[in-house]
Structures are given as structure tokens and as C-alpha cells.
Amino acid sequence: MIRHCWPRFWQALEEIDDARDDPVYAMRQVLSLALLMYACRVPSLRALDRISEDAVFWDNWCVFSRARTDAVMCSRQMTNVLAQTDPDEIGALRPRIIKGLIRQKQLANAFLLGHLMFVSDGTGIFSSSKFHCPRCLTQEHQDGSVTYMHQVLEVKVITWDGLALSALTEPQWNPEEGKYDKQDCESKAFKRMLPRLKEEFPRQPIVHILDALYCNGPTFRAIGQLKHKFICCFQPGAIPTLYEEALTLVALNPLNAIRQTVGPKDHHVVRGYSWVNDLEYDG
């Protein structure tokens, strides 16, 4: 499947800068082992070392990395190499793979009216009750304790059949000097991410699928400046006044509606769509 969809995959792994002078295992072997660890849902490095003794796992690793050796490298070797590797260089492979899949016509169901669908959401990658570094986000609790966190904004291409392909990761952290009025947040990270996304996909029509967190004028304007589109969904309680105004205007414009029947006759679904063209929200 990889060979068919992106034949340069293994060459791209080898192009990652290797800090080692005389490596026993090639870079594609190191990264392939890391990929297999997550693909096989191996819960820990210790478990990886145990499963590496299995002949089937060893054979799959050799086939997947396109390099045959007598044994699987140990997890400590893998983590030592990854610690010396620039994560941004590895992360840059993701948009390259996505663009390759688009060229190979493998992501036809990732488009809405000709626009590639992206979703963005924040997630935590580190949490501790002890101070970690000046860039940590902090959360104060009622009992006076503090949680120190590292979080990121994860940007993914989504498809109609449920696939989510990671495209970019934007870190959320406070200034290194420790001086700030407000902590970094998902909304700020989203605005920083937009120029990066435009740089990676300069001519690709894009639509952002957003939730109520992004329903504000500055975010809409930042998206508009890049000539991207967006769909922002929110529940009635998110912005009550705007929701009520929209429903009122929908009732005043009954012609702005269509009904669509999809699926087989004996198990079809009827969808109703209505819209408002002149709703003003923060400009």
C-alpha cells in the first residue's frame, strides 16, 4: 500500500539528517521501528523489547524497513537516535505524504466542494504536578495545587469515511523569558498555524471544519486573509444571541432551503439545509 501510494517513502526516511557517525542501523530502520511500535499499539519501550524477540515481528520490521538484519534494534538505541533527530524534520514528512496521496488520487473523499477538509484540536502531550520548564502552561486548582502542561494544536486532514491524517502540529507554550499577560492557548496557536498551512499547501483550496471555540471575528478574518473557507459548528448554548438571530433570519428567508435524499430507496436519509446570507457577527 505504501509503495503504491507514496513510493518515495523509504527514500524520504533516509533523507532525515542522521547525527550518528557510523550507524549500525539505517535511519529508515529506526523510524520504521517507531512507526511499528505505534501501529501495533505496543504500550511501552519494555514491551517493545519483549515483542522484538518474536520472529514474526522481526520479519515484519525487516520487510517494512526494507533492510534485513539478524535482530531488531533495542528500544534504547531507537530513543537515543530520535533524541538527536530534529522533530520538525520528521514532522515535515506529513504534508509531503498528504500531497503525494492527493497526486495519486488516493484522497478523493477528503474534499468538500473541491476544498480539502482540515480539522484542528488541542491535545496534551505532557502533564506534571511539579515545575517542568518556564514555557509550561499552568492550571491552578481550587485546592491551590498547580498542574504544569505541554499542549499542542493538532491539524488533520479528514475524510468522509472517518480517516484523520496528521498534517501539522503547532506547540502551545508560554514565552521562554516567562513574561506574558495571558497564557498561550489553542486559539492563538491556530492563528500561528494558518500561515504554515498556507505555505505547505499554497494553491490548494482548503476548508476548515471548526467548533464553537473558533467562532470569533479575529479567527474568521485570519482564515479569510488566506482565502481559505470554513464551516463553524456550535450548539445553541455556545453563542445564544447569534443562534437566535440566525434562526429568526432563516424563518424570514424560507426560499433559502433545500432538501436532499441520499442512500437506497428502502433505507434512505432525507437531509434539510437552510442558510442565511446576511448574518453579521463581529464584522
Question: pLDDT truncated to tens, each residue of the chain (283 aa)?
Answer: 777 778 888 999 999 999 998 889 999 999 999 999 998 999 999 999 999 999 999 999 999 999 999 999 999 999 999 999 999 999 999 999 999 899 989 999 999 999 999 999 999 999 999 998 888 999 999 999 999 999 999 999 999 999 999 999 999 988 877 667 788 999 999 999 999 999 999 999 999 999 888 888 899 999 999 999 999 887 777 778 878 888 888 899 999 999 999 888 888 999 999 888 766 666 5
Q: How far apart (Å, rounded) are the C-alpha atoms in residues 49 and 32?
A: 15
Q: How far apart (Å, rounded) are the C-alpha atoms in residues 217 and 225?
A: 12
Long-range contacts of residues 84-88, Cβ cutoff 8 Å, at least 24 apart: 84/19, 84/20, 85/16, 85/17, 85/18, 85/19, 86/17
Give the closest residue to 196 by CA, choosing from 175, 178, 170, 172: 170
First-to-last CA distance in the chain? Answer: 47
Contact call for residues 263 and 270 (beta carbons, < 8 A): no
Find all residues with CB under 8 Å of 78, minimum gap 6, and list them. Answer: 30, 33, 34
Q: How far apart (Å, rounded) are the C-alpha atoms in residues 93 and 276?
A: 40
- Quote the DSSP letter at residue 130: S
Task: Give the pTM.
Answer: 0.84
Q: How far apart (Å, rounded) are the C-alpha atoms in residues 6 and 90?
A: 16
